[in-house]
Amino acid sequence: MSAKILDGRWVRQQLLSELKPRVEQLTGTHRPPGLAVILVGHDPASEIYVRGKIKACGELGIYSEKITPPDTITTDALLGIIEGLNQRSEIDGILVQMPLPKQVDSRRILLAVKPDKDVDGFHPVNVGSLVANIPSPRACTPAGIMQLLRRYEIPISGKKAVVVGRSDIVGKPMALLLLHQSATVTICHSKTANLAEECRRADILVAAIGRANLITRDFIRPGAVVIDVGQNRGADGKGLIGDVDAAAALELASAYTPVPGGVGPLTIAMLMSNTVQAAEQHVCSG
């Protein structure tokens, strides 16, 4: 058996194609959606991510601003920048690229972004809406994975789903989104006893723990759908390696997201989706 490859680039293209007419409609009748990205300092990985986000905005016709304060900025100074963006009606989404320098209080910064402009879906108000299954911006990577499963017609209702990782960015929101689609969900993490045994129960296995090749063949039930969220640097510092042993997944799984090319392309697409959605709501209410 050889796993079906779940191609994130194909799903991304579908998502962006669907967004394009919505952006054109907003631009023609009101104004283009607006996204402000704050990039503090010069972290190379963050610079690459931000470049991808700005490029996607340009391709869709979304207005974007990149704000690049120095890595010596204080929490109060950054709060001032965010407050200014909160007040601007042409800015629909505010994204603060993580990680922030050590002297900046990341929690205060994330709380400062108005919930209706929080296109990352990290604000506690939006997390609460996710728990209650009320429409609001959803964390981009888990939302992208749900789009991938839907568009490849992978059934979720009644299935056993195991999420490995409990981060606020992926693990927890992923578990809740699967739960809202009537999966039976187990969340595992670095302290889970008998991790391989827990994972082998999964019909849908989501690996988001950030450890290269942690999920080996012992963790994968034959026929499971394996979603690899891992973005680990290779031993030479180049290339990307997932959390899942690719050879084992290809042999045992019924479907598998490769790294790169699986989950990665969906994150920016969902960020664009959240920005367009925010613009539509701001235009309707404003």
Rounded to whole angstroms, the Cα distance separating 136 from 151 reads: 21
Task: Say whether 226 sits in a helix, a strand or coil.
Answer: strand
Contact between 284 and 41 under an 8 Å Cβ cutoff? The reply is: no
DSSP class of residue 167?
-
- Of 144, 145, 125, nearest to 135 by C-alpha is 125
The verdict on whether omega for the bond into residue 99 sits within 30 degrees of 0, i.e. cis, is yes
Tell me the catalytic residues: 53, 97, 120
Rounded to whole angstroms, the Cα distance separating 175 from 229 reads: 13
Rounded to whole angstroms, the Cα distance separating 282 from 122 reads: 19
In one-letter notation, the amino acid at residue 152 is Y
Bridge partner residues of 255 (DSSP): 4, 225
